[in-house]
Structure 1
Amino acid sequence: METVSVNQFRSNMKNFVEQAASEHVPLKVTRRSGGAFVVMSAEDWERDQETLYVLQNSSLMKQISESAHTHAERSGYTPTDGEMNEILGV
């Protein structure tokens, strides 16, 4: 993650915001007082919030773990041809 001072950020705010939004790379902005903040696109923030929600939800994590296990063992649910056609839009 790139780090800039608040003065650099203020001078080039438009460019830094555009870069964070288009390249999906957060930018850390430091202040003299020591408190820093991060600039990132709303899309990236929402994605990160969803990831944190899933990681903090033990029920979802258990389902993911079980699904990975059954997939590796090839013992999970196998859709019918009709279901596959519907999934694939055939």
Structure 2
Amino acid sequence: MDIVSVNKFRDNLKKLVEQVVSKHEPLKVTRRGGNDFVVVSADDWEREQETLFILQNSDLMRQIADSLHTHEKGTGYRPSVEEMDEITGL
């Protein structure tokens, strides 16, 4: 994560925001007399929120763990060719 001072952030706002959005990398902005803050794109923020939701949902995490277990054993559900075509849009 890149780090810039609040003064540099203010002076280069447009360029730095475009960098955050295009590279999908957060930017830490430091302030001398206050708390630092982080700039992140809306898409990245939403993705992080979805990840946190899943990680905090014990039922979903259990389903993921069960699916991984059956996948490793080769006993999981195997979609048909038609189902795969529908899933992949082919």
Q: State TM-score, norm by structure 2.
A: 0.91
Matched with 1:64 is 64
What is the CA distance between 1:81 and its match in structure 2?
Answer: 3.5
Runs of 4+ aligned structure 1 residues displaced above 4 Å come to none
Asked whether 1:17 is paired with 2:17, we answer yes
Counterparts in 2 of 1:13 and 1:66: CA distance versus 1, 3 Å: same
- Alpha-carbon RMSD across the aligned residues, in angstroms, is 1.3
What is the CA distance between 1:87 and its match in structure 2?
Answer: 2.5
Q: Distance in 2 between matches of 1:17 and 1:88?
A: 34
What is the CA distance between 1:36 and its match in structure 2?
Answer: 0.7
SS of equivalent to 1:29: strand
SS of equivalent to 2:29: strand
Give, as a single letter, the amino acid of the residue that structure 2 aligns with 1:7: N
Asked whether 1:2 is paired with 2:2, we answer yes
What is the CA distance between 1:58 and its match in structure 2?
Answer: 0.7
Matched with 2:38 is 38
Q: State TM-score, norm by structure 1.
A: 0.91
Matched with 1:47 is 47
Gaps of 5+ in 2: none
Identity of aligned residues (%): 61
What is the CA distance between 1:80 and its match in structure 2?
Answer: 2.9
